[in-house]
Amino acid sequence: MMTMRRAAVAVSVAVATVVGTGGWTGAVAPEADVAHHGYATLAGDRLDVLVLTHNHGPSAVEDTTLRVEVSAPLVTAGRRLPAGCVWGGERAVLCSTGVLPAEGERRETLLDLRTAGMTHEVTVRVSTAWNGGATDRMPENNDHRVLVPATGDPYVF
């Protein structure tokens, strides 16, 4: 009987804590419009990807995580990524953009990657993996796929 009473008290305290902190009160997430644009270039095994991330507002975003995925395996061993970026597997890189003020400056991410062997083309997908919990009513401008032939030319997204 004592164990059941303790469990009931614990559940009551947990519910009161969540309700008291606004956990179930219908709190509204900030709204932002994160957008990624840039280009990708493939020459030999070298794949360069430049991403410009911008927030069109109306709210600032504390941080976002940019995801760049490639259709071919990448050389990860011994390859250094820019500050704020980590490998997300053998075909992906995840990068923090930092604070994105509403209608503020663009954040630039430049990735100097290598494919595991020569390839005639790759598909690069650029997207937002996380946007700080903000809602985005226009997600089509932060999710792009671009076919990049091995011509050395920049292919824009």
Residue 26 confidence (pLDDT): 59
Sole residue written with tokens 């630039």: 108
Tokens of 74: 């990448």
In which band, very low, low, confident or very high, does the pLDDT at 28 lie, cut at 50, 70 and 90? confident
- Sequence-ordered list of residues with C-beta below 8 angstroms from that of 121, at least 6 positions apart, any chain: 42, 147, 148, 149, 150
Residue 10 confidence (pLDDT): 36
User: Do residues 97 and 134 make contact, with C-beta atoms less than 8 angstroms apart?
Assistant: no
Angle at 92 between CA 87 and CA 93, to 5 degrees: 50
- Give the model confidence (pLDDT) of 65-97 as tens digits: 999 999 999 999 999 999 999 999 999 999 999
20 pLDDT higher than 90: no
Residue 29 confidence (pLDDT): 86
12 pLDDT higher than 90: no
25 pLDDT higher than 70: no
User: Do residues 74 and 68 make contact, with C-beta atoms less than 8 angstroms apart?
Assistant: no
- Sequence-ordered list of residues with C-beta below 8 angstroms from that of 11, at least 6 positions apart, any chain: none
- Phi/psi for 18 (5° steps) reads -65, -50
Of the candidates 107, 74, 77, which has an alpha carbon nearest to the alpha carbon of residue 93?
Answer: 74
Share of the chain above pLDDT 70, in %: 83
Q: Report pTM.
A: 0.81
3 pLDDT higher than 70: no
Residue 104 confidence (pLDDT): 87
